[in-house]
Structure 1
Amino acid sequence: MSDSRPTHLPNRRPRGIYLDYQATTPTDPRVVEVMLPWFTEQFGNPHSDAHAYGWDAEEAVERARGQVAASLNADAREIVFTSGATESNNLAIKGAARFRRSHEGRNRVVTLETEHKCVLESTRALAREGFETEILPVRPDGLVDLDRLGAALDERTALVSVMAVNNEIGVIQPLPAIAERVHAAGAWLHVDAAQAVGKVPLDVVTAGIDLLSLSGHKLYGPKGVGALYVRRRPRVRLEPLFDGGGQERGLRSGTLPTPLCVGLGEACSLASAEREAEASRLEGLRQAFLAAIEAKLGPIAANGSLEARIPGNLNLCFPGAPADKIMAAARGLAVSTGSACSSAAVEPSYVLRALGLSDADAACSLRIGFGRMTTAEEVGRAADLLAAAVVAVRAAAAAAE
């Protein structure tokens, strides 16, 4: 039998060690197991109310809705299923701002310059609609300047959007303190929690959160599904982004993907049940990795607060060694930069520049993410690979001078 592959398929590359858990996570096998029947055996439309196929699917979706809600200490009726955090963020920011301007005359939206692109672009889209917007700087450690935030709020403010955990540097924002200032101005607080759910304690009631976005593939669930928490009391109201059959209380029309909703619910339940033990394990792996690589390279600067940070994240700067060259040299190690491609040019991370890093230092920084499937043995090998790559890149640069 020939072992040739169809020419239209890409060659499979060696898998290596995966340390890019902030980009995405593998779907937990336990999640896959509960999803599978809903693709084939129980394939009904959850909005079909005339027969058992639809009833079973609806029951599964509502069970999943309850699981997502429980992970946030929310009511199941406050959970709206979406395609992921990008859609949830768009719906929360645009929907809340448009509703409040139309009904209350509030015409101002505030966010931080280290937010995810979909939050920043949603805010800029509102500016083009005539909203007054302000994108605030952060402190050098990546955390919000609470006094600066307070000064930006007034009776015109409709919404403030702040990420719970930054996707590049992993810092954890002080949500209760932020909510106190936001609510004092009569504004609503939206939180992008895609990187936070299952990693840090999240209670929408005690934290004072009005709207919260999450995504399945960031917490070992499937890609293509997420949710938006919309507070019921006091009521938060949104204008929907698009029209249709009125599903999800009219906020998000369209047929719900039962298998994906079931997977998201299971992923939230598992993450909640295992969060504390997993956080402790990841903290140990992170400390071991940092100690191993510093033993080879000397002290390394971490970007963002190391204290207010999720345990599975590091963002490290290696001066004199551009990140793209490190990754090319560290074959078999999957890490990432905070860079984004624009017009075929790699630009330094806007998040790192917001912390005050020079373009050169930002370009020499790597994001390293540990996760549920990371082993201690992998951490040791990864530290060796990365340190050797940095040494090689620096040596090549010195030889070229």
Structure 2
Amino acid sequence: MKRAYLDNASTTPVRNEVIKVMLKTLKNSFGNPSSVQHSYGREARSIIEESRIKIAKNINAYPSEIIFTSGGTEANYIVLKYSIINLNIHNIITSPLEHESILKTVLEFVNRDIVNLELVRIQEKGVIDLNHLEMILKRNYSKKKLVSLMYANNEIGNLLDIDKVGFLCKRYNAYFHSDTIQVIGNYSFNMEKSPFDFATASAHKFYGPKGIGFIFIRKKVMKKIKLFLIRKGSHEFGFRSGTENIYGIAGMSEALRLSCDNFQNYKKKIRNLKTYCISELKKIIPSIIFNGLSDSMDQSLPNILNFFFPKKDHLFYFHLDLMGIAISKGSSCHSNNLKEISHVIKEITKDKFLLKKVTPVRISFGIFNEKKDINMLIDALKKIKN
């Protein structure tokens, strides 16, 4: 049976070149990178540090600003915890559209009376109200605060005006963290010119392995952070103890290099796929409702398209799967319950009655997709619709 994988925002296939690098590392570099007394350990340490240098070069950062983690969720958690404890953060400002790794972690600290939480208002189509953000920052001017807003929403693809947010954070003396997990590796990045104090990334979003990611922490902020997440050991400059995932780090470095070398070609290809998919969807669903700004080519990620299918069916995704189509309703972190609509879609949908009549659909394209995959999806949707 032919199959079409259209869930790349959840995870991407691993490139063959990346697999080769990982296999080579697994086979030949088994030493403990902390055992620098012998050549096996030094070779492993060399792979880690060379990968750190390559990753830093590809996003225009310093190697010392890159901290390896087990992925995006842990990276977000570390940023929040270190900020609260080391930077004396009293207020965290975020939005109701953030990934659960942000929202649930913040609520954990709020429930322990460690920080106060303020949520930025959401405008139509899921746009962050930057005037409201400024009002919150101004009201809390004298307090230590962290703004945590994702660069690109993982469900509806909306892009944040990071320069405006960065300007406001600098003006009102706030730290700026951005969940850039859907962006790093898929967009060109220049950390030196970016407004972030913290940014997080995950390799499996850009054709690398699962279980590995990193945090960017700006050098001037890094100096203020001294508390270890795990108190024993001195791995990752003391930020994250535990023997490093050498083959994962090597694979992530190679995946990022390959993505950076081909950004423009991939971006053009994926934009064309999205344009074609929008056109075909409108033919079979004339009154189609796109969620957020996902149908905008300039205000959303080119690889994400989110819409309402005009039929309520909790088995909708299984029907597609049986026809060889892999898509999702949104974030993979809360998609186990097929009857539950994501917090993002609930938040941006004014007509709550509408949610009882439709099925939310997120399509996410990748570099290995072709128009034939979209044609398969459209044919399958026609069958379900009829």
SS, match of residue 133 in structure 1: strand
Moved more, 39-48 or 161-170: 39-48
CA distance 1:341–1:234, change in 2 (3 Å): closer
- What is aligned with 1:6? none
Instruction: State the 1:233 CA deviation.
Output: 2.9
Work out which of the residue numbers 283, 288, 291 in structure 2 matches 1:295.
283
Matched, 1:387 2:382: yes
CA contact (8 A) 1:60 1:258 kept: yes
Work out which of the residue numbers 78, 81, 98 in structure 2 matches 1:115.
98
SS, match of residue 193 in structure 2: helix
Task: Give unmatched runs, 5+ long, in structure 1.
Answer: 1-13, 393-401
Distance of 2:2 and 2:78 partners within structure 1: 36
CA distance 1:352–1:377, change in 2 (3 Å): same
- What is aligned with 2:124? 140
Work out which of the residue numbers 14, 22, 25 in structure 1 matches 2:9.
22
CA distance 1:129–1:66, change in 2 (3 Å): same
Matched, 1:313 2:301: no
- What is aligned with 1:365? 360
Matched, 1:347 2:340: yes
Distance of 2:236 and 2:313 partners within structure 1: 43
Matched, 1:337 2:337: no
Matched, 1:261 2:249: yes
Amino acid at match of 2:96: E
Instruction: State the 1:115 CA deviation.
Output: 0.3
- What is aligned with 2:167? 180
Matched, 1:327 2:314: no
Distance of 2:335 and 2:360 partners within structure 1: 18
SS, match of residue 159 in structure 2: coil
User: How do 1:220-299 residues align onto structure 2 when only pairs under 5 Å count?
Assistant: 220-233=207-220, 235=222, 237-238=224-225, 239-299=227-287
Amino acid at match of 1:143: V
Instruction: State the 1:135 CA deviation.
Output: 2.1
CA contact (8 A) 1:138 1:145 kept: yes
Instruction: State the 1:117 CA deviation.
Output: 0.1
Report the TM-score, using the length of structure 2 for normalisation: 0.91
Deviation digits for residues 165-198 of structure 1 (CA, Å, limit 9, x no counterpart)? 1110111111111011012121111111110112
Distance of 1:329 and 1:173 partners within structure 2: 34
Amino acid at match of 1:21: N
SS, match of residue 173 in structure 2: coil
Amino acid at match of 2:128: V
Deviation digits for residues 90-133 of structure 1 (CA, Å, limit 9, x no counterpart)? 000111122122xxxx4111111100000001111121232111
Amino acid at match of 2:236: E
CA distance 1:387–1:287, change in 2 (3 Å): farther
Instruction: State the 1:215 CA deviation.
Output: 0.4
Task: Give unmatched runs, 5+ long, in structure 2.
Answer: none
Distance of 2:253 and 2:211 partners within structure 1: 13
CA distance 1:343–1:296, change in 2 (3 Å): closer
Instruction: State the 1:234 CA deviation.
Output: 5.6
Deviation digits for residues 306-346 of structure 1 (CA, Å, limit 9, x no counterpart)? 23111111001123x12534323322111111377599673
SS, match of residue 346 in structure 1: coil
Tell me the percent identity: 28
Report the TM-score, using the length of structure 1 for normalisation: 0.88
CA contact (8 A) 2:66 2:215 kept: yes
CA distance 1:54–1:111, change in 2 (3 Å): same
Deviation digits for residues 4-54 of structure 1 (CA, Å, limit 9, x no counterpart)? xxxxxxxxxx67211000110111111111111111222111111111111
Instruction: State the 1:355 CA deviation.
Output: 1.3
CA contact (8 A) 2:155 2:330 kept: yes
- What is aligned with 2:369? 374
Moved more, 83-92 or 290-299: 290-299
What is the RMSD computed on CA atoms of the aligned residues? 2.0
Distance of 1:368 and 1:236 partners within structure 2: 41
Instruction: State the 1:74 CA deviation.
Output: 0.7
Distance of 1:342 and 1:185 partners within structure 2: 37
Instruction: State the 1:360 CA deviation.
Output: 4.8
CA contact (8 A) 1:199 1:310 kept: no
How many residue pairs were aligned? 373
- What is aligned with 2:292? 304
Instruction: State the 1:372 CA deviation.
Output: 1.4
Moved more, 181-190 or 349-358: 349-358
CA contact (8 A) 1:204 1:210 kept: no
Distance of 2:349 and 2:281 partners within structure 1: 24
CA distance 1:205–1:138, change in 2 (3 Å): farther
Moved more, 361-370 or 179-188: 361-370
Distance of 1:231 and 1:22 partners within structure 2: 27
